[in-house]
Homo-oligomer: A and B are copies of this chain.
């Protein structure tokens, strides 16, 4: 947690520090980001940084908290506006699109989260631990529920399909970092979603093999 000194700072200065730090952590991994560079670019002394934050990791967690807050808000809003008749595919599409828009509007926050996914598992675990049970098994529950509603093939394991979506969302995040504002990304997401929903093999066609007694 930042020290109280940080919150006593004049708004302008605080924002400047946050911005510069986001620039740094937004496109470098934790170990490659440099505190020295941050204080130089923010125009403050090295020592001052340590009046505001415990250490580098503390600053990092603070920024990450800002990002998580924004992203959760965006996704929650997107889901709330869906209406009760939405099935799991509508939900996933909405979540993915919200993620995309968030990345478009706050590229550095998105970059921050994206870089976290590239860190070593131990580091990731350490970061996630600081945010408590916030990262619950959201999607796993969705799929479980959807399966009971008959929206998901009964032979599919909810945790398997959840891990697939996680991989895809992660990849989607990576692909966004470069080509933001490009609407082709959202089209790509929709295509991915279509494939996840219907599969690659043509349905009800001659070419189809018989598979495990279906």
Residues of A near any B CB (own CB < 8 A):
31-32, 87, 89, 118, 121, 149-157, 160-161, 163-164, 166-168, 170-171, 175, 178, 188, 191-192, 194-207, 209, 211, 214
CB-based closest 6 A-B pairs? A199-B199, A167-B171, A150-B207, A198-B199, A160-B191, A153-B202
Q: Are A201 and B170 in contact (CB under 8 A)?
A: no
Q: Are B154 and A164 in contact (CB under 8 A)?
A: no
Q: Are B151 and A195 in contact (CB under 8 A)?
A: no
Q: Which residues of B contact A195 (CB under 8 A)?
A: 156, 160-161, 164, 196, 199
Q: Please measure, in the bound complex, the distance between the C-alpha atom of A149 and the C-alpha atom of B149, giving whole angstroms.
A: 35
Q: Which residues of B contact A154 (CB under 8 A)?
A: 202
7 contacts between A and B (CB under 8 A): A121-B178, A149-B207, A153-B203, A160-B188, A160-B192, A167-B171, A170-B171
